[in-house]
Structure 1
């Protein structure tokens, strides 16, 4: 059997203007009349966005206003899982297409608004509102070349319509005063620059970088700490060839290693913390060591008194005593009589008195 030919596709290819290319994609552009979304090539061909991020952006842009576009909501609409959707949203947020802004409602509740901009670069350029259009001054009426004497002149504008006015004598209308200049409209007020909708969370490349944290130093530097730190740094190349440091780098990093040794950190522990999970390729070994010595500095070991459990407060218990008269048990720090016997003795004393 011969291969079936799609007549509709053949007819559509025949309508493509120009010669068809021998390789590559051939576009058949059919205009949309409803249910379509305009997507710019800056998004569809973004060099730094993955295809998943571009697809998520197109899906968000096609949704109506107010639809939930969280990670779980998008994962329920798409075939991608929550991890891929979250990664795509982070890419869009880094590129400026997606922004999350915290806002406080009049009731005091704080909510997070998700804003999607189809052209984030257009927000960075100032946008000025259109200047108000002032009506142009009316041009002076041109005097007619000839007015027939038999026709009456029009009534003046100051006379009300309801009041009958006598017809004036047929005279030629006065010529306009051409010497007076036309009125000049007032200049438009300078338009204030509107505030941007939101401030991008991604800092520009020219933003000043924060100062790095200083390298830790020992509280009490000693020659023994300096010698042990120098030996540990010089010995790193035996275990990891990438850490072949110069003498200048060793001298600069010695205080950081000495601070670790002062806090009773074992040399093998320091070597493991500095040489594991290295980036590939390792271009600046001294900078990596400086960062790890600063960011991963362990706290000092606690003393024995810090690890001891706090002593529980002692509770004094009043012992039991036996009444000398009725042999009843009662609580009292000293032996004697119970409450009832003491009352009976008090009453007997009063009666005898």
Structure 2
């Protein structure tokens, strides 16, 4: 009979593949004949997406066709809350894993249809959310004199690399202005010095949401409306919250949205603070001597003091 060893080698588990690093992950794999979803590593190991966005994308890909994936339905299903879910949906939409399109039904009702892409599609890059795809430009039509056909890239889509810009021709120096020549008209879009605070606020909105990036012309045009908010007593934090809270999922014109909110949500001016009424000054009564105890007290008419009136009945006092 063989001797029992105190430290026998553990039996090997066929489903487990050991790793060389003790701290690394060890997969315990199992066969799943049904109820599974194929998700690509390009999503699960995405270098930019947050963990909330990756988990939400995996959940959406596992749902059947027609399942509701709006913010309210997802907030009732998960404990993250509407703000985090809305931010994760915008991440997926930015990186091409989600596309929300407003469509009109046969009855004329406008609904938002959500398309979940198992492979990311091309989307225009948003500032601050990732790198933009390499710009491609359609191949121009060859002239009649050209003999060679346009070259196609390795994708075979008929796209070519961008054409390098033409060399810039130096401009001729401007002629010196004459003394009798009238001054050029002032720039109509230049902000008033009174609107400097409003210009700073509007230009910094893109720090809160990259979709609220405004052009210089829009900032100068909307600055007087923000100054009107400051004139009625609203602070900068109040204006920023009004312009950035509850933004729609698809924001096509940020300048139009900001102009609408500044115009329609302008609060009334703060009421003037009224001082409390001053206490009325009453003349002090003269000093009197009590008819009962000869103690001095103030009263409008001569008589007895308060203590004597308390102990002497009214009939005796009379």
Q: Does the pair score TM above 0.5?
A: no
Specify the structure having the higher radius of gyration (Cα).
1
Q: Calculate the TM-score normalised by the size of structure 1.
A: 0.37
Q: Calculate the TM-score normalised by the size of structure 2.
A: 0.41
